[in-house]
């Protein structure tokens, strides 16, 4: 008799730090539920094919860098009607054993919530503002250019919900994509991520798609995770250009004047 899988997870890999990645994979494998982890390897050399060998891990070699969203989408057919929950996980995230169970319990309380995410901390335990209002073009510019931050300080402040009590759970506009726990059926109904975004903004876009689906996204700070957060676009011109391209695609799709929610 085939064992029922409660939770599946996908991690997209490309030239990852092995120390961080080991922590991430160990965090998932310790979950006391029937589970399956998909490692989607965007590295052309299939570098990670034999690095992690476990009966609960399935390796998916792409042999080219197809991007974040397209990578996660590769396993949509595999998880459809297979698991009850699906976790989108970055390769630089770690968490304690009880986190997933707590999130599932909270997620099950709400029929209209498609996705839930926890409080996110940096490795030094400082707060990472992972739940946000939908961004304006000016806010995105200010985040990328430090000299603009003083001018748009109030915009950034409000955009990261710092006007709310972040120790309490609430339904956020969007939650950054390092950790999204979905009801699998909802992730499948969303058809995953919009693959027009190679990297960046796909997490904002999928939250917009959840709105269109008539569902919500919950920020749940009662549990927390650690996210290294490499911030590649602020260090690499190439990644900065990809971020800019994704932002343009986002605003052309959804409009430059986003109506703010709560």
Centroid of chain to Cα 161? 18
Q: Is the pLDDT of residue 145 over 90?
A: no
pLDDT band at 4 (very low <50, low <70, confident <90, very high): confident
Could you tell me which of 143, 163, 29 has the C-alpha nearest to residue 95? Answer: 29
Q: Is residue 239 part of a domain?
A: no
Q: Could you give phi then psi for residue 190, rounded to 5 degrees? A: -75, -10
pLDDT in tens, 59-99: 999 999 999 999 999 999 999 999 999 999 999 999 999 99
Helix boundaries (H) for 2-49: 18-29
pLDDT in tens, 16-53: 999 999 999 999 999 999 999 999 999 999 999 999 99
pLDDT for the residue numbered 148: 60
pLDDT in tens, 182-238: 999 999 999 999 999 998 999 999 999 999 999 999 999 999 999 998 755 445 778
Q: Is the pLDDT of residue 1 over 60?
A: no
Task: Output the pTM of the full model.
Answer: 0.92
Specify the higher pLDDT residue, 153 or 130.
130
Q: Is residue 32 part of a domain?
A: yes
pLDDT in tens, 239-251: 878 888 999 999 9
The CATH number for 32's domain is 3.90.550.10
Q: Is residue 66 part of a domain?
A: yes
Q: Is residue 223 part of a domain?
A: yes
pLDDT for the residue numbered 230: 73
pLDDT for the residue numbered 233: 47
Q: Is residue 202 part of a domain?
A: yes
Strand partners, 57: 37
pLDDT for the residue numbered 48: 95
Q: What burial class does residue 138 get, using C-beta atoms within 10 Å of its C-beta: 0-12 exposed, 13-18 middle, 19+ buried?
A: middle
* Domain, as residue range, for 50: 7-132+169-229
Task: Count up the domains in the chain and report the number.
Answer: 1
């Amino acid at each position: 008799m085939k064992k029922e899988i409660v939770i599946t997870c996908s991690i997209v890999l490309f030239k990852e730090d092995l120390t961080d990645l080991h922590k991430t994979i160990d965090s998932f494998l310790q979950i006391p539920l029937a589970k399956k982890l998909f490692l989607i390897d965007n590295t052309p050399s299939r570098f990670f094919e034999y690095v992690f060998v476990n009966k609960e891990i399935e390796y998916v070699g792409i042999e080219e860098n197809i991007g974040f969203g397209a990578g996660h989408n590769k396993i949509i057919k595999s998880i459809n009607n297979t698991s009850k929950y699906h976790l989108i996980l970055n390769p630089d995230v770690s968490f304690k054993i009880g986190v997933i169970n707590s999130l599932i319990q909270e997620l099950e309380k709400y029929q209209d919530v498609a996705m839930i995410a926890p409080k996110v901390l940096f490795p030094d335990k400082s707060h990472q503002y992972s739940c946000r209002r939908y961004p304006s073009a000016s806010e995105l510019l200010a985040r990328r250019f430090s000299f603009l931050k003083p001018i748009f300080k109030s915009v950034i402040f409000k955009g990261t919900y710092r006007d709310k009590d972040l120790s309490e759970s609430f339904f956020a506009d969007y939650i950054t994509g390092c950790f999204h726990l979905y009801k699998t059926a909802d992730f499948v109904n969303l058809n995953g991520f919009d693959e027009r975004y190679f990297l960046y903004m796909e997490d904002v876009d999928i939250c917009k798609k959840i709105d269109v689906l008539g569902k919500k996204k919950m920020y749940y700070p009662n549990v927390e995770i650690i996210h290294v957060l490499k911030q590649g676009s602020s260090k690499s011109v190439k990644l900065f250009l990809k971020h800019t391209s994704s932002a343009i695609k986002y605003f052309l799709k959804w409009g430059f004047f986003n109506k703010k929610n709560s």
